[in-house]
Structure 1
Amino acid sequence: MAKSESPLGVVAPENSTTGRDLLARAQLENELLYADLQSFVCDEHIDRYKGRLNGETSRQIDTVTARVSFENGVEHYTDVHQNNRERPALSSLPGAWSEGEFGTLLRQTHALLGTQPVTLKADGELDGAPAAVYTIEVSQQDSPWELVISGTSYKIPFRTDVWVSKETGRILKIERTSTGIPSGMGISELRWSVTLDPVDLEGKTWLLPKTGEYEVQYADARRREWNVMSFSGYHRYGSRVVLHF
């Protein structure tokens, strides 16, 4: 996992909208938000689908629920159910699934913002809020993204797009895309996105996942699988990112 040795000690003026100043503000805002993050619990709801790349014959596969705890920087998944049937772990599920949305992704993105070249991609809006979109290209060597297929782990290169609020400097959405999957795996593209929302607990505000989507495309078979995730019921209680097939 990439690590950030220290926060960027630059704070942009409140009304600054320049790309560099907003990026510095985003780094500082999210460093402060997560400096004391130690322990949370929430409920995760996952609806899993599959269908053709052209959108035809799409159907829901199942529904998965789990209790997610984030303790001292590590995520744990318990109380896993598939269509209301108890499962021993997420790893026991067939098909595509992901781990790491709870806190790891934001921590890694913050580290990448401080260690990798960042490009201002565009200005726009997200759910009506003015936002700047930054892009980070991460090589396989520097990648904290781990893909596990049949028990074998692969580090994969990817592009991250980060939506940053122009009003608060907080990260609103993170989306990773990779087309650098090892040949012979049959996978042409992976896409993983998470939207974040402020959560007030015990008089303090934390920026935590609200929704997510994880998609796997199989170009040769002209099909895809995708998971739609939501997170709720946050409360205090006190990793790496792994994707499985």
Structure 2
Amino acid sequence: MSNVSRLIKRNVYIPILKRTGSVLLAVGLLDIAVMAYCIANRISYSSSFNVFAVVAGIFLLRGSLRAASIVRWFAAFLLAGFLALLVAWPFMQPIDLTLTHMRLSPLSTAASVGVMALVFALLFWLYRELGRTPVLAACAAAGRKARDMRIPAAAGVGVVAALGVFLALLLGGESASKAQAMAEQQLGSAYQYHVSSLNIAKNSQGTFVAGVVTAWNAKEIRHVSVRWEEH
């Protein structure tokens, strides 16, 4: 009997699934608690872990090899997406704005970087643990087709690239120029301007545009809401 067969027969993969499941469940419950606190105190908060992490954690604790395969796939997808986003970020937001935010809000910046580092570490750990030999061998023995992790990695990079192109087209058009001009009319030339978001909605009554323009200088960062109707 081969070493792989012995590992499968002894269910060596089960502790790995339980360990990763326990961590995911804990992270998901913590995320839900933080989200509830932020909602109750009207604090902006967004996360994609909460319910997904809880459900995936429960299935992993039950020894689901299908859940292990799905979680590893998404871990590869998100890891590649995070790395691509780091590369694309200077093209999505002016470097000077990023540096100004770091200088004016060092604690907030440190907290954001810390959370991102923890998330990245968690995803890497999940990818590595669920790709260990006992888990992959158990999947193969159960008749599950081996997944090519280059596919989710390429998908993660592709999503970020598509988002970057979309934002470049949206925020580089006439509507973005008008939004920036409207913000500059309110605050004057003492600021630099960057269109942070833009929403264009069309209906039978016309086209409605709303957006947020970030204005900054060496002393402060401000967010200006603009909206208008196009005929």
Same-fold status (TM-score > 0.5): no
TM-score range relative to shorter protein: under 0.3
Decide which structure has the larger Cα Rg and report it: 2
Higher RCO, Cα 8 Å, sep 6+: 1
More strand by share: 1
TM-score (norm 2): 0.22
TM-score (norm 1): 0.21
